[in-house]
Structure 1
């Protein structure tokens, strides 16, 4: 991990969460740190912050959680009035520091830094074209491809260069872009990944993947950035540009099912409300005779609450989650996966013993933990376990930014 500085005076020369701040007179690095902390659920592999003071662009990034990457000294050194931040969950490119974001490069418009949530589907083609024209890459991330296309543009302004780039790239992208004097937010024409605008102190603006991070830093939610829209913030204020025609809205359904935090707003409702409604509909479509409804925490909790309310079956806490254990599907064999489930979940026998149980989960992606979890409940005394999943079956892979392999 190291701090890099890109000054226009000297330098003639990269599932995720993104956050950006334009706030003169504020500690933007610290605000971005807290914003990334609120978006930690969107990526835990690496974190980074880039800051501009109007002359220099400084960036610091490292592997691991936000709280491990940054400390007081680092945040103090990231002085400026514009900042962007990024939490990474790799979908393209390996989990190494070179792929950590923001990606920073020199361009015809000075130093630019980019944070990207999403996944391009024409990366290989674009990368080959750039390499054939002499471009070299420092990472395997598709974000660097976006950065290099913008950097090479012969457009008159950075806004024109970004708009030009949007017509070349295909896939899912919600971008926060920093220049020496501008903060820019961009969303793909389908709106596959979320991106919203917040405001505080009347003249300071924030971009964030989710509204939960706005609340954390005391900002007020204004609106979602529209599909195909570019929003530019500079000293003159906020400028909204419809950079591409809006295609049909196609926000990733997994944001509603699992990915976004329950207290975030999307389409004018909290995800907690949406997931409760899923549980309500699940009870109507697939009822069960049971003594208790339990969630698989934490993501199954809102749907279980909805299922219990609609079915009039009592809600109970049947499983306690160990929050310090990471995912278990990476273990090499089923015995290790079974052990991983027991490390992750511990049954509450008083809730389960002698009971017919409805177990509510938000989704089944790989299916590696469902069977051992049911066995866990049976071993704790459940006489029946009725599995209910609040999302439709996942039948196909995702190429737009969620790893389902």
Structure 2
């Protein structure tokens, strides 16, 4: 009887070389300990006023939180930072999706840091009405500016607030100013109500547009153009240069149809190519010209004062609304009234009056 030779299975796995740890366990423990350690309001204020970006980010996270304890702590931080604020210029930047806002802001921000400015970008990212999530990809798209030591980028989800620019953005401006940033750029979601909110918290409003995108006088643009201090035709490069020049002429004609601004400033139109970094210096020169004029005639300070008053009233409205909806009795009654309204058992207006009567008792 012959013995057959037994061959090892082809599926046999040989022992390999054990790979070393890619992350130091000691570093992991230190990071976890640091995250568990929550700095006090005084510690945050001290770090922010020394230019600590990490402390700035932590403070903005507190502002964005709805936790009552966080809100109380955030208010202390803001109050402590107020004496160091109001030393910057605030520029709102908007435009329809696809106009190149992120590319423009990166090119503009890099230009500003190159001339000695410290730039903070507060980018409002739209939240989904279905999943309530946001991509928050602005820092990824601004890959050069995010590495600049004199720049800070903070993307925030718009949430359910007016275009995502309510109390949290307004107060984030104060913290950025206290951190030493002298130029604050606020990027809005796009075309919508958020532009009105941004206009009420900035010194200068810049509208980005495209050449050949349709009728330059269509209604969706008119409201924004009335708020704009400067219209910039982006992507004026390659075969698009001629179209950009034509669009500039058309927008100049359109702006003459609008009434004179209280600032006495005549809105201007210019072209640029953010991708090729052409015309960016002209944009800044125009903004400087605006600030020189409005500071000389007193409009700059008057506008800031009016904005403070506006946000006082907006904050009261916001707090009343939150207090109403978070009232335990109102929560129960609201659900009952919703069903009654859906079943046509009561009108929406009568139901609202009933709820408000209960609330103010």
Larger radius of gyration: 2
TM-score, reference length from structure 2: 0.28
Greater relative contact order (Cα 8 A, min sep 6): structure 1 or 2?
2
TM-score, reference length from structure 1: 0.26
